[in-house]
Copies of this chain bind each other. A is one copy, B any other.
Amino acid sequence: MRNKLNIGLFGFGIVGTGLYEVLNKSKLLEASISRIVVKDPTKKRSIGTELFSFDKNDILNDASINVVVELINDSEAAFEIVKQALKSGKHVVSANKKMIAEHFEELIQLAKENNVSILYEAAVGGSIPIIRNLEEYYNNDSLSSVQGIVNGTTNYILTQSNFGVSYQDALKKATELGFAEIDPTLDVDGFDSKFKLVLLIKHAFGLIVEPKNVFNYGIRNIKPQDVKYAGEKGYRIKLFSRAEKLNDDVVGFVAPHFVKNDHFAYQVDNEFNAVVVEALFSDKQLFIGKGAGSYPTASAVLSDISALQFDYQYEYRKTTDNNVSELEDDFFLKVYVGSEFIESINEIPFFRIDEVYQGGDYNYQIGWVRFNDIKSFNLNDLLDLSLIVLPEPFVASNQTEKLKRERIQYLSELEN
């Protein structure tokens, strides 16, 4: 019942090389790479040249190749390759979260029409089998939230910041270790985390959302003073991709969060990734694994290849009638906003202010903001401002009485 797999590989970078080695070392799989297409004919390769080609059609027009593994960086070139592969009746395994997030609906449709699979476990959470688990395991349990540290570079930088390592030094080191994207703004401004969130939202809630409509705010603005504040309060700062049910809507975004030491993610450090899934019956579940690097990502690619032996395909069982959907942006969340400049903080419209600290060198303000208001700022570019989400449940826009009443109570307490 196992299909013999003949693989055409696009890209021979960190993950591609890892896959080649892993595939050679793993004995249980009936699969082999028969051609590798790369862009740069002059680049020196770690293996013999006989498998290499520089023309994509050497794979795409080869009828003996039944699986295309796409591991290149350029997401638009990747899309062209994958589209053509699916149309030629080849299965596709990809780790390209940007490409998938941006062309999600078309890719799913193409795979369906051509009766082939497109699998992308390696695109989210590296070695963590989160797509497969969301797809297979939670399909009948009422999922309420998915929250993850899904970018190794930023988690590495944030972890190192606890030890006083500067942002620049930590980013340099992450690049050396092979965690960082070629364009580091994809990592540090939360774009990579956002593309992954788009994939998680589809498999968790059945919704396809457009990346451009999803808010992403990264870690570039986080100052040593914010890290110091976190330490004093027993928090750590983690960049979360999160989506959850809020009444009948789904809300979701990427932003730095303070987490307490009773949170699953508190101890998830460096290049490790973690995803917490909350569901009505199974309650909270945590998946932790290495989210970046050659072998962990290659092992996820390998797992997809292996699944193709058994004709596996995502069923998208949670898909709702309206395929393209919107996240709900009208809700409230509690945040910390820090800056050297009080006037910068004052630009953020607070619905309710709970704490104000002004310290001369550094200032912060804590309180409730309307997500819609925050989303209208390009926070990644407001370098003198850092916004970090506090661990309080969101409040829906039709429940603001609660916030108001508490505010009145709070103010009257102060007056007494």
A contacts, CB < 8 Å to B? 18, 22, 25-26, 28-29, 127-129, 132-133, 136-142, 264, 267, 279-290, 295-296, 298-300, 302-303, 306-307, 310, 315, 317-318
Which residues of B are found within 8 Å of A307, using beta-carbon distances? 136
A136 and B279 CA atoms in complex are apart in Å by 22
Taking a contact as CB atoms under 8 Å apart, the answer to whether B127 and A283 are in contact is yes
Taking a contact as CB atoms under 8 Å apart, the answer to whether A283 and B279 are in contact is no
A142 and B139 CA atoms in complex are apart in Å by 29
Taking a contact as CB atoms under 8 Å apart, the answer to whether A25 and B280 are in contact is yes
A-B contact list, 15 entries, CB within 8 Å:
A26-B141, A28-B318, A29-B140, A127-B281, A133-B133, A136-B307, A140-B302, A140-B303, A140-B306, A141-B302, A281-B299, A282-B289, A284-B290, A286-B286, A287-B288
A278 nearest CB across to chain B (Å): 11
A290 and B298 CA atoms in complex are apart in Å by 30
Taking a contact as CB atoms under 8 Å apart, the answer to whether B295 and A290 are in contact is no
Which residues of B are found within 8 Å of A133, using beta-carbon distances? 129, 133
Which residues of B are found within 8 Å of A298, using beta-carbon distances? 281
Residue from the set A18, A141, A288 with the largest chain B CB neighbour count within 10 Å? A141
A302 and B137 CA atoms in complex are apart in Å by 9
A280 and B288 CA atoms in complex are apart in Å by 16
A290 and B282 CA atoms in complex are apart in Å by 7
Taking a contact as CB atoms under 8 Å apart, the answer to whether A281 and B28 are in contact is no
A127 and B276 CA atoms in complex are apart in Å by 13
Taking a contact as CB atoms under 8 Å apart, the answer to whether A279 and B299 are in contact is yes
Closest to A28 in B: B140
Q: Which of B18, B129, B141, B283 contacts A137 (CB 8 A)?
A: B129
Taking a contact as CB atoms under 8 Å apart, the answer to whether B139 and A306 are in contact is yes
Known contacts being A141-B302, A281-B22, is A288 close to B290, with CB within 8 Å?
A: no
Closest to A127 in B: B282
Closest to A303 in B: B137
Which residues of B are found within 8 Å of A18, using beta-carbon distances? 281
A238 nearest CB across to chain B (Å): 15
| 5 A-B pairs with the lowest CB-CB distances in the bound complex, closest first | A281-B299, A127-B282, A285-B289, A282-B299, A286-B288
A234 nearest CB across to chain B (Å): 14
A138 and B133 CA atoms in complex are apart in Å by 13
Taking a contact as CB atoms under 8 Å apart, the answer to whether B282 and A296 are in contact is yes
A131 nearest CB across to chain B (Å): 11
A304 nearest CB across to chain B (Å): 10
A152 nearest CB across to chain B (Å): 12
Closest to A307 in B: B136
Taking a contact as CB atoms under 8 Å apart, the answer to whether A317 and B284 are in contact is no
Taking a contact as CB atoms under 8 Å apart, the answer to whether A286 and B289 are in contact is yes
Residue from the set A25, A282, A283 with the largest chain B CB neighbour count within 10 Å? A282
Which residues of B are found within 8 Å of A137, using beta-carbon distances? 129, 132, 303
Closest to A304 in B: B137
Which residues of B are found within 8 Å of A284, using beta-carbon distances? 289-290
Which residues of B are found within 8 Å of A300, using beta-carbon distances? 282
Closest to A294 in B: B281
Which residues of B are found within 8 Å of A128, using beta-carbon distances? 285
